[in-house]
Amino acid sequence: MTDTALIDPDVLERVLTTALVGGGDMAEVFAEDTSTASAMLDDRKVEELSSGRSRGAGIRVVDGDTTGFAHTADLSEAGLLAAARAAAAVARQGEAGVRTVALGPPSRHGPGDRTLPDTVDKGHKLELLGRADEAARAMGDAITQVQVGCGDSRRRVLIANSEGLLAQDDQIRTRFNVVCVANGDTGMQTGYESLARTEGFEVFERFAVEDIATRAAARALAKLSARPAPSGEVPIVLAGGSGGILFHEACGHGLEADHIVKDASVYTGRVGQLVASPLVTLVDDGTVLGEWGNFGVDDEGCSPSRNVLIENGILTDYMWDWLRARKEGRKSSGNGRRQSYQHLPMVRMTNTYLLAGTEDADEIVAQTPTGVYVKKLGGGQVNTTTGDFVFGTTEAYLIEGGRITEPLRDANLIGNGPEVLRRIDAVATDFDMTPGTCGKDGQSVPVGCGQATLRITGVTLGGTA
């Protein structure tokens, strides 16, 4: 990862030993050093050019069903020992005792041949913003406002625990986004497009910022002639890559083990049962290089893995962090994640996607007499206990006679996750991924979502027609 560790191993051993002086099953140190930079061009003016850095450590002590946690921005031995004693005081149960901790050799994961953010000249970033702005405005005079932003981060983490684990990771992420406003007879319409990769600035050797900008502008322009979306239950065709967020929310959260053990998921106790169409195989995989939810180790020091959650419609497993897996006598699946050193880890998705099918995407549309083609979904929410969800569309078109015709104004998809999974009757080969930010219990982490073009035989569309 890097040539220096965030905390000396000898100090880590003393801190972990101190954390367990009063007893406990496990003590853990999570140290983090994150640097960020961002730039924004709004209406051809540089509105933001900033950078920041955050360093600190969170210390967790687990004793039975009790967890003590304390965090500090002081990475000195004195600061860490104070946090260890505070966490132990919360978790302390039973008789005091001494437990000596010996750490194993570190596992290291790093950025490889990536172009590190702090080596990129600010002038180059501003040049990228300017090129995207020009490309968006070149789409037509109706584009009246363009906002372009880019950002990058480098997150170095170190995780050590009293079971001997010592792991380090160096996570580099780069994002670029364009928002366009088009003005016409129907008023102002907005289009958005983004690129987000767990890579350095070499990402722009493969992805052109002009393409990102023109897609955002085209989305805004198309809405100028959009008609009100129909209301009621209609067949929905989700374009490849665009609908992964639907399955992330509609069923992914319900497959996280913390919801399962609390009996707060519609999927509790259903392993081995048919819960979806046989065309559905759902995977969560933090090992997919470059995707937004990729990392070398999770925030508990466990290696990510490819977890098949639903296979050919049958529920096969859930996602696990260390704490929930320990209670069930099994290993973590590498899904323990936290927003920062100031937060406790919890079960979170990484890159969650449906495997591609065998059909042609154009044929799926041609075989749909009437319906709605959803090119891009917006945000949404789900009730994990019932599986009920609501999602907004940000680019959608009418399907008439097996053809994509008129653009539609933004509307809502309303349905139930398990029911939608059962109603998938066609899956294409054109698999694609899209990045996102997942919020849960006040914490946000980067995730990836994906799927190929697919058809759902019926979903309620909350339109205005």
Residues 205 and 297 in one domain: no
In a domain, 2, yes or no: no
Q: Is 119 helix (H, G, I), strand (E, B) or coil?
A: helix
Place of tokens 């006598």: 329
Residues 292 and 205 in one domain: no
Domain boundary among 223, 247, 264: 223
Residues 157 and 276 in one domain: no
- Domain tally for the chain? 2
In a domain, 3, yes or no: no
In a domain, 448, yes or no: yes
pLDDT tens digits, 386-440: 989 999 999 999 999 999 999 999 999 999 999 999 999 999 999 999 999 999 9
> Which among 104, 107, 105, 109 has a CA at the least distance from the CA of 1?
109
**Mean of pLDDT values over 337-344:** 97
408 versus 98: the higher-pLDDT residue is: 408
SS3 percent helix, strand, coil of the chain, rounded to 5, is 20, 40, 35
- The number of angstroms, rounded, from the C-alpha of 237 to the middle of its chain's C-alpha atoms is 23
pLDDT tens digits, 111-153: 667 778 788 889 999 999 999 999 999 999 999 999 999 999 9
Residues 189 and 127 in one domain: yes
| Cut 0.85: pTM above it | yes
Residues 57 and 84 in one domain: yes
* Contact predicate 135/214, CB 8 Å: yes
Question: Residue 298 corresponds to which amino acid?
Answer: D
Place of tokens 């959009």: 226
Residues 201 and 276 in one domain: no
Q: Is 110 helix (H, G, I), strand (E, B) or coil?
A: coil
What per-residue confidence (pLDDT) applies to 182? 97
| Burial per residue of 52-67, b for 16 or more beta-carbon CB atoms within 10 angstroms, e otherwise | eeeebbbbbbbbeeeb
pLDDT greater than 90 at residue 95: no
Residues 103 and 172 in one domain: yes
pLDDT greater than 50 at residue 43: yes
Backbone torsions φ then ψ of 402, nearest 5 degrees: 75, 15
Distance CA 123, CA 148 (A): 15
Question: Residue 194 corresponds to which amino acid?
Answer: S
Instruction: Give the tokens for residue 115.
Output: 């172009």
In a domain, 4, yes or no: no
Domain boundary among 223, 250, 284: 223
In a domain, 378, yes or no: yes
Residues 219 and 242 in one domain: no
Residues 128 and 249 in one domain: no
pLDDT greater than 70 at residue 10: yes
- The number of angstroms, rounded, from the C-alpha of 414 to the middle of its chain's C-alpha atoms is 22
State how beta strands 336-337 and 166-184 pair: unpaired
Lowest mean pLDDT among 94-98, 267-271, 305-309, 384-388: 94-98
> Which among 232, 230, 236 has a CA at the least distance from the CA of 464?
230
Write down the mean pLDDT value for the chain.
92
Residues 449 and 364 in one domain: yes
What per-residue confidence (pLDDT) applies to 185? 85
pLDDT greater than 50 at residue 158: yes
**Cβ neighbours of residue 107 under 8 Å, at least 6 residues apart?**
166, 167, 168, 297, 301, 303
Output the domain CATH number for residue 207.
Answer: 3.30.2290.10
Domain boundary among 223, 245, 270: 223
Instruction: Give the tokens for residue 210.
Output: 């002009």
pLDDT tens digits, 219-266: 999 999 999 999 999 999 999 998 888 889 889 999 999 999 999 999
In a domain, 420, yes or no: yes
Distance CA 372, CA 407 (A): 10
**Mean of pLDDT values over 372-382:** 89
In a domain, 1, yes or no: no
Residues 277 and 425 in one domain: yes
Instruction: Give the tokens for residue 357.
Output: 């099918």
Share of the chain above pLDDT 70, in %: 94
Residues 169 and 311 in one domain: no
Tell me which residue range forms the domain holding 407: 232-462
pLDDT greater than 60 at residue 356: yes
pLDDT tens digits, 160-208: 999 999 999 999 999 999 999 999 987 899 999 999 999 999 999 999 9
Question: Residue 97 corresponds to which amino acid?
Answer: G
In a domain, 256, yes or no: yes
pLDDT greater than 60 at residue 313: yes
